[in-house]
Amino acid sequence: MSNARATRLSRRGILAAGGALGLGAVLAACGDDKGKGSASDKGTAEAESGPWSFKDDRGQTAKADRTPSNIVAFVGVAAALHDYGVEVKGVFGPTKTKDGKADVQAGDLDISKVTVLGNEWGQFNIEKYAALTPDLLVSTMFDDAGTLWYVPEESKKKILAVGAPSVGISVYDRQMTEPLQRMLELAKSLGADTTSAKIAQAKKRFEDAAARLRAATKAKPDIRVLAGSASQDIFYVSGSNLSIDLEYFKALGVNFVEPSPSVLKASGGWFENLSWENVDKYKADVIMMDNRTSAIQPADISEATWKKLPAVKAGQVIARDPEPILSYDKCAPLLENLAKAIETAKKVG
């Protein structure tokens, strides 16, 4: 887990909900048509008629009289559903960069065609949400308490009171393949044609990439990989447990450099924070760096200690997606890029 994620989790209890919108106003904004939904956008898989239900990773079953079409989702979930042909009406979470372009977590979404309810942590415009007459709210979960990612705890009751059922897909302490399958199941329930040639090809590419990564680690078992994230004052070294990508990569044989369990305990098992003076504490041949906009990117790191790292000097630094977009189309390249890095890496650490 990255620095940004941990900071946000620690701030969960003190962030304001953003506005003093009363529950009555929210419900009034819903109108009498709440839950009926509207026609799907062009390109969205045709929803099936009749009752709809989906049991999520909290063990809760979301139900509706018909397949939801006015979907609001965390941006990464929306990007995954888009890859399966299911479009959403509203998103929340990192969607636009400061220059107005699509954030890396938006994937192939056309962000001009969705209503952005909040672009940063703690932002969730309840008035806009209610105005969409949502019939489904979807997010991921980074804990075992059922906390919906980027749904502010302070305004959660008001958000849920709008009336849309919610679905949580867990991305906590499991391998990537499990939430990938769950997202595919959710997309299918929402009308996606999961038997399409496009999806079959993406899944085959993912499986081939996994085999390639396993072969690369078998051929070069001594190549050590470190997962890091950069902030102005601190360099974060991730443990290989809890994160869905690192757990899966480790299962495929990746030799991770990681802090001891006792050190990781301070962050709930996610990471160790190092000062830039101590960034060379761990020896690594390949460094995977957090590519989200909340983190400083490698090209912008000016610290001399960073530039002296053997992996950096050797050009063996690649991007990492700590919050993978859960479609086979987006996850296959993650495996391919890491496999290539290990295949071509020199032993420098």
Q: Tell me what pLDDT residue 49 has.
A: 64
- Rounded to a whole number of angstroms, the CA Rg of the chain reads 21
Count of CB atoms situated within 10 Å of the CB of 154: 15
Q: Tell me what pLDDT residue 44 has.
A: 38
Q: Are strands 271-275 and 234-238 parallel, antiparallel or unpaired?
A: antiparallel
| Paired tokens of 14 | 């003190």
Q: Tell me what pLDDT residue 213 has.
A: 98
pLDDT one digit per residue (tens) for the chain, 349 residues: 444 444 444 333 322 222 222 323 332 333 333 333 333 333 333 444 689 999 999 999 999 999 999 999 999 999 999 999 999 999 999 999 999 999 999 999 999 999 999 999 999 999 999 999 999 999 999 999 999 999 999 999 999 999 999 999 999 999 999 999 999 999 999 999 999 999 999 999 999 999 999 999 999 999 999 999 999 999 999 999 999 999 999 999 999 999 999 999 999 999 999 999 999 999 999 999 999 999 999 999 999 999 999 999 999 999 999 999 999 999 999 999 999 999 999 999 7
Whether residue 169 contacts residue 57, with contact meaning beta carbons closer than 8 Å, is answered with yes
| Amino acid type, 272 | E
Q: 210 by DSSP, 3-state: which? A: helix
pTM as predicted: 0.86
Q: Tell me what pLDDT residue 304 has.
A: 97
Residues contacting residue 141 through CB under 8 Å, at least 6 positions apart:
57, 58, 147, 148, 149, 168, 169, 170, 171, 172
Q: Tell me what pLDDT residue 349 has.
A: 77
Give the Cα separation of 274 and 207 in Å (integer).
Answer: 35
